Structures are given as structure tokens and as C-alpha cells.
Amino acid sequence: MRIHFGFDIAMEFAQAAPMLMMLNVHPSRRPDLIVPDLLRLEPEVRLSTYIDTFGNRCSRVVAPPGRFRVSTDAVIEDSGLADRLAPEAGEVPIAELPSETLIYLLGSRYCETDALSQTAWNLFGHTRPGWPRVQAIVDFVHDHLDFGYPHARATRTALESFSERRGVCRDFAHLAVTLCRCMNIPARYATGYLGDIGVPEDPSPMDFSAWFEVFLEGGWYSFDARHNQPRIGRIVMAYGRDAADVALTNSFGSHYLSTFQVWTDEIAVGAERPAKLIAA
């Protein structure tokens, strides 16, 4: 299947400000792009790119004073399959984990493993290690937190989500990531596009999404504590320890957001380019 995706973001700056942006698909998905996700800047300014510590593609610009618009409109080839299931996958002993996964066992800005470790073992110490334990964590977080866009707060941590029992998708991911790490299961935060493909359409405005991945026998597997069901058409943009590592934009100067639109839609293989691409 093919997925048409993109965004249109505009910000208003009082003065020129350097920016870091993480708005491209992850390098692991770039071979699947049918129409590249080139960033369009209005007004045009110099843009440079680099790969960060976690393997994400990042961009650097200096936003000019006034309105600065960033957009992309692309098409990607996707398997059309739901998230991979491996209910018999076991845990990998810490001593045998690949070195690059070890960082995802540690506490981080939004994931306070030290504060939730005993709680995690009290809740999940009796569960069967591996996939069943991760699923038990996902079930718990899904039931424990109340989802709602009005609950959004940029500073909320996993411990605060656990205590307040509410949040948005990033909070669901942070709490699940933290509980998995407490149980010695490497877990990493993921952000990207997730459209309503194969599920009833959500009437709320489209936004970027957050989920997480765990490392078990056989590699990395996607889990989603907010939706708690396998989904079709995830397009990952970035991985990190938590949301602090994968911020869509970091601006070193004051600004406010004036436009924010995101789209993700299935299109038929061989179909004409979507209207947005024709008009771009």
C-alpha cells in the first residue's frame, strides 16, 4: 500500500532565531519513499542536515523575523501489515543485550526509573517474562491513564502521569517505557505519523503520534499503550530515550505557533499524485 503524508507548520518570530528540526522520516524508512519528504521553507533560508546520536535525521536553519513556514508532502510505500506480533518472544538477558540497546535501560528526562522501580516490580514481577510482561504493562497503562488533548502538558513525566492518571500519547509512551525499563527490558520512545488506516476515523484534527518499541528476542517490536492494538501504517520519524530527544523543533528564540496541520492517508497503488502534491 502507499501512504500520502505530510505537514504544514508556520511560526511567527520576533527576531531571527536558530532552529533544530526533526521533521523528516527516519533514515530506516527513506528507501520506501516514492515521493521524497523534502522540506519546503517559506521564506527560503539555508538548511543543513546531520544524523544525531540516535540515528535520526535532523535539520538546522536560522528562522528569519516574521512568519516562517515549514512543510512537506510525500508518499511512502508500506507493507500494509499491522504491527508485528511475537507472543512467544522472550527477554534477552542484560549480559547478552547488544551494546546499542543498553542506553534504553536507563532513566531519562521524562522516564524516572528510580522512582517507579519498586512499583513496577510490585505490579509486574509475577508476570511471565518477555512479550506477556510487556503486554501486561501496555494493558495497565492503557487502563490507568485517561486520554485527552486538554490533558497535554509539555513537562509531565512518567511519574506524574502515573500519579495524575491522565495524559496524551507521549505520556502513555513515557509511562510504558519507564515500567519496561524498570523490568530490565530495553524500551525506546518513537514519534511519527499514524493515520486512521484499518480503524474507524478519529474526528479530532490529525497530529503526530507517539508510541514505543521494546527489544526482545528477534529484535525491536512496536507497542502502543494509548491504542493498545496492532496498527497499520506507522511512519517513524525519530527514536530516542524519551520526548526530549525527539522534539519536532527546538527554537533558540521566542516565537508562537500560527499554523499546524498534519495528514496521513492511504492511496491506491498506481493512483495519481494527491491534490496537495499536484498543487505544491
The yes-or-no verdict on residue 133 having pLDDT over 90 is yes
Q: 219 in a domain, yes or no?
A: yes
Find the mean pLDDT for residues 49-73: 97
Q: How many domains does the chain have?
A: 2
* Helix (H/G/I), strand (E/B), else coil: 119: helix
Residues 125, 227 share a domain: yes
The yes-or-no verdict on residue 81 having pLDDT over 80 is yes
Task: Return the pLDDT at 72.
Answer: 98
Residues 109, 62 share a domain: no
Task: Return the pLDDT at 275.
Answer: 52
- Whether 108 contacts 180, CB under 8 Å: no
Instruction: Provide φ and ψ at 60, rounded to 5°.
Output: -125, 135
Count, residues in the chain: 280
Residue linked to cell 507497542: 223
Residue linked to cell 491513564: 145
Residues 128, 69 share a domain: no
Find the mean pLDDT for residues 46-69: 97
Q: 170 in a domain, yes or no?
A: yes
What one-letter code names the amino acid at 94? I
Predicted model pTM? 0.94
pLDDT digits (tens, 9 = 90+) for 236-280: 999 999 999 999 999 999 999 999 999 999 997 666 555 555 444
Q: 238 in a domain, yes or no?
A: no
Dihedral through CA 28, CA 211, CA 240, CA 129, nearest 10? -100
Task: Return the pLDDT at 233.
Answer: 96
Task: Return the pLDDT at 280.
Answer: 43
pLDDT digits (tens, 9 = 90+) for 176-197: 999 999 999 999 999 999 999 9
CATH code at position 101: 3.10.620.30
Residues 145, 270 share a domain: no
pLDDT digits (tens, 9 = 90+) for 90-121: 999 999 999 999 999 999 999 999 999 999 99
- Whether 176 contacts 124, CB under 8 Å: no
Task: Return the pLDDT at 202.
Answer: 85
- Give the H/E segment covering residue 169: helix 169-182
Share of the chain above pLDDT 70, in %: 96
Residues 252, 152 share a domain: no
Which structural domain, as residue segments, surrounds residue 196? 94-232
